[in-house]
Amino acid sequence: MTLFRLDASIRTAGSASREIADIVEAEWQAAHPGDTVIRRHIGVDVLPADAWGLAVGAGFTPDADRTPQQRRATALAAELTDELVGATAVLLAVPLYNFGVSQHVKTWIDLIITDPRAAAGGPPLLAGKPVVLATVRGGAYGSGTPREGWDHSTGYLRRILADVWGADLTLVEREFTLVGVNPALDAFTDAAADLHRAALSAAQEAGKALGAAAHRQAV
């Protein structure tokens, strides 16, 4: 069995989303010792910003007339799609950046959508496949908070992963990751600590469930 893990944090150390994903991965590996984990860190090893436009253009260009740049873009889209559809289970670690989806994640999704296997009208790309989405936010965006409705990432990712691609999606969230960094949030220190502990516990449970679901799917 294979776990595909995507990390989108731009941080090389101290990433809150990676902390959650590490726990999920550890639980998956405990259930599947020796099995393969394929990793792609698009927050550090970024995808070319122009690849999506080139891949779209290639779709309207006869194969013989495609430019070398278009061929590289379609090959990259196929490689990304191969990693996703070839996995038994999927783990995505995606922070909220600037109230929206990370540009790196958006490029990753957009490129996959150009692959023929993700074409509208076909079978869902991840039909029934277990997927854990670990997402973190620097402040609080829940119901009743001053920034309720400002998170434009999580809902979009739910739409793509579960509604469009058909994944069996589990969400692990943590808020207030900037408490201790931004002095304006110092009043929320205790709440942030509680949310941190809850997120790590949820990650452990999600990892165990991911390992069990992957096993059922492979049987």
- Cα dist. 92→15, 62, 121, 154, 175 in Å? 13, 34, 25, 12, 17
Which positions ≥6 away from 216 have C-beta within 8 Å? Answer: none
Phi, psi torsion values for 97, nearest 5 degrees: -120, 125
Domain spanning 2-218, CATH class = alpha beta
- The pLDDT, as a whole number, for residue 214 is 72
- The pLDDT, as a whole number, for residue 201 is 98
Question: In the chain, what percentage of residues exceed pLDDT 70?
Answer: 98
Find out whether 141 and 150 touch, Cβ atoms under 8 Å.
Answer: yes
Tens digit of each residue's pLDDT (9 = 90 or more) over 191-213: 999 999 999 999 999 999 999 98
Tens digit of each residue's pLDDT (9 = 90 or more) over 93-146: 999 999 999 999 999 999 999 999 999 889 999 999 999 999 999 999 999 999
How is the chain split into domains, by residue range? 2-218
- At 164, is the pLDDT very low, low, confident or very high (cuts 50, 70, 90)? very high
**Does the annotation place 9 within a ligand binding site?**
yes
- The pLDDT, as a whole number, for residue 12 is 87
Cα separation, 26 vs 219, whole angstroms: 21
**Does the annotation place 153 within a ligand binding site?**
no
Name the pTM for this structure. Answer: 0.95
Tens digit of each residue's pLDDT (9 = 90 or more) over 11-37: 989 999 999 999 999 999 999 999 999
- The pLDDT, as a whole number, for residue 219 is 57
**Does the annotation place 15 within a ligand binding site?**
yes
